Amino acid sequence: MKKIGILFGQENTFPQAFIDRVNHKAKEANLEITAEFVQIDKVIQGEPLKYHVIIDRISQDVPFYRAFLKNAASSGTAVINNPFWWSADEKFFNNALMTKIGVPVPKTVILPSNQLPTDTTHNSFRNLTFPLDWEGIFSYIGFPAYFKPHAGGGWKSVYKVTDIDEFFKTYNETEQLVMMLQEEIQFDEYYRCYCLDRQDVWVMPYEPRNPHHLRYLKDTTVAPEKNKMLTDVVLKINRALGYDFNTVELALRDGIPYAIDFCNPAPDADVHSVGEANFEWIVEAAANMAIRRAMEHREGLNNLTWGDFIYSSANNEPLVEGAYDSSLKKKPKSKLGVKKSAKKSAANDGDTDGEVKAEKKQKKIKAA
């Protein structure tokens, strides 16, 4: 029996809906898979867990959970998202990487914290020139601009600054936060996009200037050609970063999509904020992804996802879109990950009958 768990915090609607959907689909397709809330009574180094897959919705806020997940991953649990990459990643690097793969992003600089970090002195910063090249920074970014932390989310400590005086006033309020100053993109359209398993994308018209409960635009349709263009950008970003569960925010200026915020590995999935239609999509897509990963689980091996950047860097190869997935020899999949050529592959490669049976079970999920 393959077991799927979800690790979560204060959210209420998504975790239960996810568990119910996985269990319903597994029962309908006669799969030996079950899902439940993760239960932890002790964590011993190197000991395998009973979970083949864990969806992580909270470890960014609970360091104990992050350590628990890394320990689980070391014994083969497929943790979504990869806790090692999530720990290393941050928004400024994301922007830097986008400049290397051809995705437009706002002009951005990173700044040292306004106040000294704990356990440091002025001698800790002797490599910084004083003052910084403020004239060059402001000339590059321009005003108005956005001032926000280089890591984190939830629109916390995000400011719009209109001139130099307002910038310094705000900077003095940020204490030990490491901040980014970012060009404002005056957009014509804005979209928030779910991306699951680096293959399933759901485009949502979004207005970030509205009150939170009105940001998802229910009565706005997206033309097919625009949907494809946005989807391609979202997939390119997530394949480079290696996220299995993420949102990407894209601002269209003169028809060009600029990636604004795309490091959201535990994105909002509450029915009361995203709306019924978006909630239904994310529950279904997350359940399908978790079932796929459980069925593909390799006992005792590394079952984490590593994106194109990590894969290409580790192999000292150029950064190429899809390099990581190609390295796994993944064939084109249906929405539920059916390997259409499984029977042919079994005949050619001497695969076991069990793999063909697994294919049949995956097909059954469509009806669930």
Which H or E run includes 308?
Answer: helix 308-314
Q: Where are the alpha helices (DSSP H) in 173-246?
A: 224-241
Residue 123, both tokens: 């001698």
**What type of residue is 174?**
T
Every domain of the chain and the residues it spans: 107-183, 189-278, 331-368
Residue 307, both tokens: 């994106």
Phi and psi at residue 152, to the nearest 5°: 110, -170
Distance CA 198, CA 322 (A): 10
Buried b (16+ CB within 10 A) or exposed e, 50-84: ebbbbbbbbbbeeeebbebbbbbbeebbbbbbbbb
Residue 359 is predicted with a pLDDT of 55
Residue 153 is predicted with a pLDDT of 72
Residue 330 is predicted with a pLDDT of 53
Decide if 293 contacts 285 (C-beta within 8 A).
no
Which H or E run includes 65?
Answer: helix 63-74
Residue 156 is predicted with a pLDDT of 84
Task: Give the start-end residues of each E strand in 57-199.
Answer: 78-80, 108-111, 145-149, 159-161, 179-183, 189-196
pLDDT tens column, 226-270: 999 999 999 999 999 999 999 999 999 999 999 999 999 999 999
Residue 357 is predicted with a pLDDT of 52
Q: Where are the alpha helices (DSSP H) in 143-275?
A: 164-171, 224-241, 271-274
Going from the first residue of the chain to its last (368 residues), give the mean pLDDT of each consecutive group of 10, the final group possibly shorter.
Answer: 97 98 98 98 95 97 97 97 95 96 98 97 96 98 97 83 98 97 97 98 96 90 97 97 97 97 94 96 98 95 95 95 84 40 40 49 54
Residue 219 CB partners (closer than 8 Å, separation 6+):
none
Instruction: Name the CATH superfamily housing domain 107-183.
Output: ATP-grasp fold, A domain (3.30.1490.20)
Q: Which fold has domain 189-278?
A: D-amino Acid Aminotransferase; Chain A, domain 1 (3.30.470)
Decide if 208 contacts 217 (C-beta within 8 A).
no
Residue 368 is predicted with a pLDDT of 58
**What type of residue is 245?**
F
